[in-house]
Amino acid sequence: MPRPAAFLHRHRHFLVFIALMVVVRSSFADWNDVPTTSMDPSIRAGDRILVNKMAYDLRLPLLGTSIWRTGEPQRGDIVVFDSVAADNRLVKRVVGLPGDTVAMVDNGLRINGEEVAYVPATASDDDVAIELLGQLRHYVRRHPVGNRLSSFGPVTIPEDHYLVLGDNRDNSADSRVYGLVPRGELVGRAGAVVFSLDYENGWLPRRDRFFRSLSAMPDEA
């Protein structure tokens, strides 16, 4: 038996496992590291998040070509996308859907002419609030004064495009910097934190963040 054939036969189970992992990670589910604070406090730097790649599209393994739409992004979804404008893979929250008109005034969102409600989250940190996006409640970090990105619009969103923002509103390069996100750039929807490492504390694990759902408020997870 030729030596390459012998090698393949001897390691066939391992090679099949590797091939299946490649297929799963390219088309079905993957995990992504989050190195920045742009989604704080929902996602912290050092979190490793689970990404459902079938949330919006069924794609050909390895090629990434969409062959079937399995769903549409909803307001409040945390999406992972390969941004051509940023030349990077980003993680942000969907705020504006196709057909919406979105504006922001002093870090307060207005969607289709209606002001989004904000509720103080803690007495100790005035910059953290609970944002009410329809039925979804989630934390955001924002300052009443903000910076040059704290006001924009109104912007009307065309078909198959989305306006995304980081939950850390004063420290996020998102649609305010890179523009609207075309649907074709979407990789999937982030559903949970698998595990987390504290970069500022010797890379120690943050055990309280292991397997934390991103669809629930932090004190509900």
Instruction: Assess if residue 66 is contained within a domain.
Output: yes
Which residue carries 């609030």 as its tokens? 129
Domain assignment present for residue 22? The answer is yes
Q: Do the domain assignments include residue 209?
A: yes
- 147 part of a folded domain: yes
Number of CB atoms found within 10 A of residue 113's CB = 8
- Is 221 within a domain? no
- Per-residue pLDDT of 14-25, as tens digits, reads 444 454 444 444
Which residues make Cβ contacts (< 8 Å) with residue 177, sequence separation at least 6? 86, 149
Containing domain of residue 76, as a range?
Answer: 3-213
* Number of structural domains found in the chain: 1
How high is the pLDDT of residue 199? 81
pLDDT, position 99 = 97
Q: Which residues of the chain register pLDDT less than 50?
A: 1, 11, 13-17, 19-28, 221
In a domain, residue 194? The reply is yes
- Out of 38, 150, 175, 196, the active site residue is 38
Q: Which amino acid is at 160?
A: D
Cβ contact 185:57 at 8 Å? no
- Residue 160 has what pLDDT? 97
Q: Could you tell me if residue 92 is inside a domain?
A: yes
Q: What's 152's domain CATH number? A: 2.10.109.10
Q: Does residue 196 have an active-site annotation?
A: no
Is 53 an active-site residue?
A: no
* Whether pTM exceeds 0.85: no
pLDDT tens digits, residue range 141-171?
988 777 888 999 899 999 999 999 999 999 9
Which residue in 27, 42, 92, 175 is the catalytic one? Answer: 92
